[in-house]
Amino acid sequence: MQITKEIVEYAADLSRIKLTEAETEKLITELSAVLNYMEILNQLDTENTEPLSHIFEINNIMRKDIVKASCPAEVLLANSPNFEFTVPKTIEEL
């Protein structure tokens, strides 16, 4: 597949970004290099290679959630400058 100016402009439009002419040309070169490298990778023999989800074996190291009592809100907020938290009204009633 050949990367063209139209493809780069289309991708930029979808991404809602504006590119200068120099940036467009640079992206054409860079994206073409990426695709050329993918072609090199496609030539590799992967017939006897099993798919991997990770390079290393991964074990779940997460602990189970344990429900326990926590500190009361009054104690946690005792040193706060304003114990009352208020949010200004943002919607007007009709």
pLDDT tens track for 7-18: 999 999 999 999
- Give how far Cα 50 sits from Cα of 37, 40, 42, 46, 61, Å: 22, 20, 16, 8, 25
- Give how far Cα 26 sits from Cα of 22, 31, 91, Å: 6, 9, 48
Helices 21-42 and 5-14, interaxial angle, to 10°?
A: 100
**Domain range summary for the chain, segments of one domain joined by +:** 5-42
Who's near 35: CB < 8 A, 6+ residues apart? 1, 3
Instruction: Give CA–CA dist 9/6, Å, rounded.
Output: 5
Q: Which residue has the higher pLDDT, 81 or 3?
A: 3
Is the model's pTM score more than 0.85?
no
